[in-house]
Amino acid sequence: MTFSVPITVRSYELDVQGHVNQAVYLQYAEHARWECLVAAGLQADKLAAARLGPVILETTIKYRCELRSGDEVRVSCEFEWGPGKTYRIRQEMIRADGTLSAEVVGVGGVLDLDARRLVTDPAGRLRALAEKPELLGG
């Protein structure tokens, strides 16, 4: 299942060329990931109580079309789980007119906050805590 959130580009997020600064794309992606976790019932305090913390290990961004002040963009979030300790999160930033603005692929894991190591079966650990595990993908 693909989850998404709307974001309106604010003028202070622009660089000197008048489009969204490259670092802001990372913030948009992070915002969508956390909103997805919250919608699934995995608030930060719940994760902290379980001594788990989602982490991003790597991020790749492909910029396709600029975003400018006032643009409405929908940021998606789709988890891809594998057999190991890491997973992929695919995200798209699509303007209201349907134009793909950016593609973001992150590699993440779930950190055991006591051992300071990635947990095995991150999908299973998060789904077991989630109220809506379907939002975390299949």
Per the annotation, the verdict on 45 as an active-site residue is no
With contact defined as beta carbons under 8 Å apart, do 87 and 21 qualify? no
Using CA atoms, how far apart are residues 93 and 58, in angstroms rounded to an integer? 18
Beta-carbon-side half-sphere exposure of residue 109 (alpha carbons within 13 Å): 14
The catalytic position among 15, 71, 97, 112 is: 15
Q: Are 85 and 126 in contact, with CB atoms under 8 Å apart?
A: no
Residue 126 DSSP SS3: helix
Q: Which two tokens stand for residue 43?
A: 């608030």
Active-site annotation, residues: 15
